[in-house]
Structure 1
Amino acid sequence: MSAVSDVTPHPDRALRYAVVGMGATGVGVFVALVRSLAATGRAADAEIHIFETKERLGAGVAYSTPHDCHLLNMRAGTMSVHPDDPTHFVRWLAERVDAAGASTEADYVPRRLFAAYLQEFFEEALAQARQHGTKVITHKSVVSDCREDARGMHLIAGLDHFVFDYSFLCLGDLPSTEYLEFTKVPTYIHSMWHGAGLEVIDPDTTVGILGTSLTAVDALLQLRASGHRGAITCFSRRRSLPKVQGPRVRYTLRHVTAENLRLLTADHTRKLEFAEVAALFQSELEDGLGLAVDWERVLAEPSAMFTATLAKDIELAENSQTLWYSILDATSEVIPHVWRAMSAEARAAFMNNHLSVWSMFRHCMPLDNARRLLTMATEGAFQVTSGLTSVAYDDERQLFRIEAAPVGGERTVYDVDYLVNATGTGFALERSDSSLIQNMLMRGDISPHPLGGIDVGFEDMRVVRRDGSLSGRALYIGPLTRGVHFYTNSFETNLANAHSAVATVMARIGAA
C-alpha cells in the first residue's frame, strides 16, 4: 500500500477534494465545485480527485446504455444542465449531426445523447479548472473505504490510500437489494445495467421480469430490439405499467405550495399527518382538473386487462387529456419540502401503502415507448400480471417458478427460463454490494435512514453518523438519499442537491 498523503486540512492553503462516482450526479458536483472554487478565489493549486471505474465520465447507470430504444423519460426541454438556461440541451441537440430531427423541447431522445452532453459539460469544467490552476486527477479504481479523522477524509482506492479535506460521495443507482438469493443462478439477471445484462438471454427462451416500472419498460424494449421471440411476463405486487406522458403544460400550483406548507405546519413547528398531505394533493388535482376525482377507482389495484388500460392511456396522451401529469410534474421542486414536513408515521404509511401507485402516475413513460409496448402486447409478445406472491428457483428443472394472484383473478404459477430483476435502486444498506457502504456502515460513519438509503442533512447533504452527529467532511448526493429528500430519481433534483453540497463545503471553508 502506498504511503498516506501528508496533508493536514488548513483554511489558508489550497484544499484537496474527492468526488467518488462520476455519473450524472458526480459531474454535477464536479462542475459546481470547479465554478465555486474559481468564483471564491480558491482555485489555484486546489486538487480535485475523481474516482470512477467506467471509461465514460457522466454516463453512470442512468445514461450509459448504447441502445437507441432507451429514451430519456423526460422531454429534452427539461434536461438542461444549466437551471437558468432551460433550452441549453435542446440547442445542443440541434447542433449535433447524430441528433438530427431531435431539436424541440418535446422530443424524447436516446439516453446516449444525454451522456455525450454530460461529458461535454464535464470537459468544459475541466478546461475551466486547468485555466484557473486547479489540478484534476482521475483514478480508475473502486473506493472501498472512506474514514474521517482529525487529519481529514481517508480514502482507500485499490492499493492506494489518500487523505482529502472533503469527500463527495455520488455512487448513483446501486443494484437492487431484493432477490439476492438468486445471484448465483446463471439465468438470473440481477441488473440489466451491470455485467452482461440482457445480452445473455437466448431469444427463444421464456423471460420473467420482476417489476413494472420504467426499468421494466426498458427491459421490454431492449428484448424487442434484440429480436427476442419467447414469451415475456412482467410481475408486480400491486401496480401496472407506468402511465403515459401527454403534452407538457405549464401549470402554476395553487395548493401544494411553500406558503401553504408554512401555514399548515405553523411556521414549520408541527409535522403533517398523511391525511393532511393527501387532502392538499387532492385539492390541487381537483382544482386544476376542474372536476371531482374518483379516488377509490384511481387508487384501486389494476383489474382491467393491461392492454386495454395501455391503449386508453395512449389515447388520453394523444388527445392532450393528461393535465394531471403536468400538475404532478409541477410539484417537483416543492416535493422534498412536503416530504420533510410530514411526520415519520405519515412518511412510512406512504412508502408502505401508496408509493407504487404514486410512481405509476408520477414516473410516466414517453408516448413513443407506450406505442411500441402496445404493439408488442397486441402481438402477444408480453403480458403483465399483478399480485406477485412468491419467486423460487427449481434446481431440478432449472426454471424459475413465480406465483401471482391478481385482484379478481385466480392464483397462477408461471415457469420461466430467465428472470430479470427490474425493481430499481437498492435501498437496503445492509444488503448493498458496495464495499464502501459496508465499511462505513460497520464503523457507524454512515447510518441507514428508517425509510431506506443513507441518512443525510436535508439542506447540506452531510452524512449522518450512527450516533446522530453530522460528518464535517463527507457528503452524500444521489438516489440513496430518498428517505430524506424523497424525489431523488430525477436529474434536476440531484443537480440541485449537488449545488447544495458544494455550497455547504464553500461555506464551511469560508467560516474556518
Structure 2
Amino acid sequence: MTEIHDIAIIGGGASATLLAWNLRHRHSRGCVVIDPGPQPALGLAYGTRSVENLLNVPASGMSALADEAGHFLGWLRRKIAPEIGAGAFIPRAIYGLYLQDLFRQAAPLHIRARVERCAPDADITTLHLDDGRCLRARHVVLALGHFAPPLLPGIPADLLESGCYHHQVWAGGVIEAIKPTDPVLLIGSGLTAVDQIMQLRAAGHSGKITIISRHAQFPSRHAPAPKLDAPVIAPGACAPRCTAYLHLFNAALKQGIPWRACIDSLRSVTNQLWAALPPQERARFRRHLQRRWDVVRHRMAPRIAEALDAGLASGTLSLRAGHLQKIEAVADGLRVTVRYHDRIEILHAAHVLNCTGPSLRYDRVNSPVLRDLLDRKFARTGQGGAGLDTTERGQLVASDGTARQALYTLGPARQGTLFESIAIPEIRGQAYDLATTLDGLLTQAPLQDLCA
C-alpha cells in the first residue's frame, strides 16, 4: 500500500519553505515538498544571482518568522557581516540563502517531480506525478508561487522563438543574449523592469534602454518616515467605498502626515479594508487606483532609485507612456509599434523584454495541477479571475461555493480573496496560521484513527 503522508506541499519556493519551517519548529511535524527544481526555497523571486537585485524592504522588515521580527537581521549579522544595519537593503540572492537555510532546518522530504493531477477522495488526496508515481496525503497545500506574465498582444508566434523577444525575463540566458550596445525596450515599468535594468547595467550593458508603460512611472523610492500609532483608515471608520477611503487618506495628508507613513500605517489592515469593499468597489479600485497604489506601496531601495534617476538624466534611460500595438522582426532587429494617446510611433530595438510582472490569471497559466483542479471543479478562481477563491484559513473553495476538500493554499494564490498576499510579511503570517490549523486538524484525527 502507498505510504500516506500527513501534509504534502506542492511547490518549493518561499511560501513552501515558511510553511515547512513552521510545521517542523512550531509543531514538530514533517511534510513532503514536491517541486521539480534542483534548488528549493528560492522560487522566482529569490533565484536571481545578481547582487544588483535588492530587496525592496529594509532588512529589519524581512524576517521570515511571524513571531520573531529580528530573525533575518540576526541571521545576516551571524552569517554575513555583524555590522549590517536594520535599514540596509540586502541583495535578493542573499535572502535566497536565508530561505535555503530555513528549508534545511525544516528538513522536509523533497520529491523532485511535478504534480499533474490532484484527486481528493474522502479523507485522502492522491497526487499523480509527472514521473508516473502517485503520492497520497491527508492534507495538500498549493504553494505554487508566481507564474510567467500573460502573453502580450501583437506578438506573432514566430517571434517567441527568435531570441529577440523575451517573454520570461527570469529564464536563464536573457541578459547574456544582449550585447553591450544593443538598444533594448522593456514593456512595463514596475519592479520587474527595475530589476532588468539593474542586471543589464551590472553586466556591462551601456546601450539605450527604453521603458514603455501605460503610466510611465517607476515605483517610488524608500525614505525615512515616522511610524504611526494607528492606521489612517481604520476598519469600520467609514463606509466601505473607495471614495470614502480616499477621503480619510487625503485628510491625513492635509494634516501634514508624510505619505509614506500613511501607506505604511495601512499594512496591518489592508486586507480587512479590502474584504469590507463590495465586489463593484473592488473592481473600481482595480481600474482606477491599483497602479497608483503599486507605485507608492512597492518602493525601491534608494541606491536603485538614484541609479535610475542618473540614467534618465543622461538619456541612457527613457521612460515613456504608451501602449504596445505590435512587434515585428526586421532585418536589423525588432520593429515595435507603440500608441501614445492620439499618435503612433515606431521604435527599433535589438531586444524586447516583457516586464509586465507575474500572471494572476490562474485559469490561463501553464500549470497542469491548477488546470486539473479547475476543470474538475475542486477549485475556482477568485474575483476577476485572479488567483484562487479561498476561505479565511486558506482552504480552497470549490466551484459550488463549498470548502469540503483538504486542499489549502498560501502566498500569491490567495490574491483571489486577499489584497496583499505576495510579500514576505503576509506570507509569513499565513504560513504560521496554516501550520497551526493543520497541526490542530491532525491532532484531532490521528493517522491511526483514519486507518482503523
Aligned residue in 2 for 1:25:
15
Aligned-pair CA distance for 1:264 = 4.0
Aligned residue in 1 for 2:139:
166
Aligned-pair CA distance for 1:121 = 2.0
Q: Distance in 2 between matches of 1:24 and 1:118?
A: 7
In structure 2, stretches of 5+ residues that fail to align are 446-452
Q: State which of 142, 145, 153 in structure 1 corresponds to 2:125.
A: 153
Which letter does structure 2 place at the counterpart of 1:336? N
Is residue 2:326 matched to residue 1:329? no
Is residue 2:427 matched to residue 1:494? yes
Is residue 2:94 matched to residue 1:117? no
Q: Distance in 1 between matches of 2:168 and 2:272?
A: 32
Give per-residue Cα distances to partners, 1:341-368, cap 9 Å, x unaligned. Answer: 1010000011112111110111111100
Instruction: Please list, as runs of the form range in 1=range in 2, the aligned pairs for 1:227-246 lying within 5 A after superposition.
Output: 227-246=204-223
Q: Distance in 1 between matches of 2:442 and 2:6?
A: 12
Give the structure-1-normalised TM-score: 0.81
CA pair 193-248 structure 1, distance change in 2 beyond 3 A:
farther
Aligned residue in 1 for 2:197:
220
Is residue 2:238 matched to residue 1:281? no
8 Å contact from structure 2 (residues 231, 265) kept in 1 = no
Give the structure-2-normalised TM-score: 0.91
Aligned residue in 1 for 2:32:
49
Q: Distance in 1 between matches of 2:175 and 2:60?
A: 30
Which letter does structure 1 place at the counterpart of 2:233? V
Partner of 2:236, secondary structure, is helix
8 Å contact from structure 1 (residues 215, 424) kept in 2 = yes
Larger displacement relative to structure 2 (150-159 or 490-499): 150-159
Aligned-pair CA distance for 1:152 = 1.3
Aligned-pair CA distance for 1:254 = 4.7
8 Å contact from structure 1 (residues 273, 345) kept in 2 = no
Aligned-pair CA distance for 1:491 = 0.6
Instruction: Please list, as runs of the form range in 1=range in 2, the aligned pairs for 1:436-447 lying within 5 A after superposition.
Output: 436-447=369-380
CA pair 72-6 structure 1, distance change in 2 beyond 3 A:
closer
Q: Distance in 1 between matches of 2:253 and 2:384?
A: 27
Q: Distance in 2 between matches of 1:254 and 1:230?
A: 44
CA pair 444-196 structure 1, distance change in 2 beyond 3 A:
farther
Aligned-pair CA distance for 1:147 = 2.1
Aligned-pair CA distance for 1:398 = 5.0
Is residue 2:43 matched to residue 1:60? yes
Q: Distance in 1 between matches of 2:293 and 2:340?
A: 22
Q: Distance in 2 between matches of 1:179 and 1:454?
A: 19
Partner of 1:470, secondary structure, is coil
Partner of 2:384, secondary structure, is coil
Give per-residue Cα distances to partners, 1:304-362, cap 9 Å, x unaligned. Answer: xxxxxxxxxxxxxxxxxxx3113202211210111101010000011112111110111
8 Å contact from structure 1 (residues 454, 483) kept in 2 = yes
Give per-residue Cα distances to partners, 1:7-61, cap 9 Å, x unaligned. Answer: 4xxxxxxx521111121111111012223432xxxx4xxx511112223222111
Q: State which of 2, 10, 22 in structure 2 corresponds to 1:5.
A: 2
Aligned-pair CA distance for 1:239 = 4.2
8 Å contact from structure 1 (residues 253, 327) kept in 2 = no
Q: Distance in 1 between matches of 2:337 and 2:225?
A: 38
Aligned-pair CA distance for 1:400 = 3.9
Aligned residue in 2 for 1:132:
none
Q: Distance in 1 between matches of 2:205 and 2:82?
A: 29
Q: Distance in 1 between matches of 2:391 and 2:261?
A: 26
Give per-residue Cα distances to partners, 1:48-101, cap 9 Å, x unaligned. Answer: 11112223222111111111101111000101123333222222212234x475
CA pair 430-82 structure 1, distance change in 2 beyond 3 A:
closer
8 Å contact from structure 2 (residues 66, 432) kept in 1 = no
8 Å contact from structure 2 (residues 185, 353) kept in 1 = yes
8 Å contact from structure 1 (residues 239, 360) kept in 2 = no
**Aligned pair count?**
440
8 Å contact from structure 2 (residues 383, 389) kept in 1 = no
8 Å contact from structure 1 (residues 19, 49) kept in 2 = yes
Aligned residue in 2 for 1:69:
52
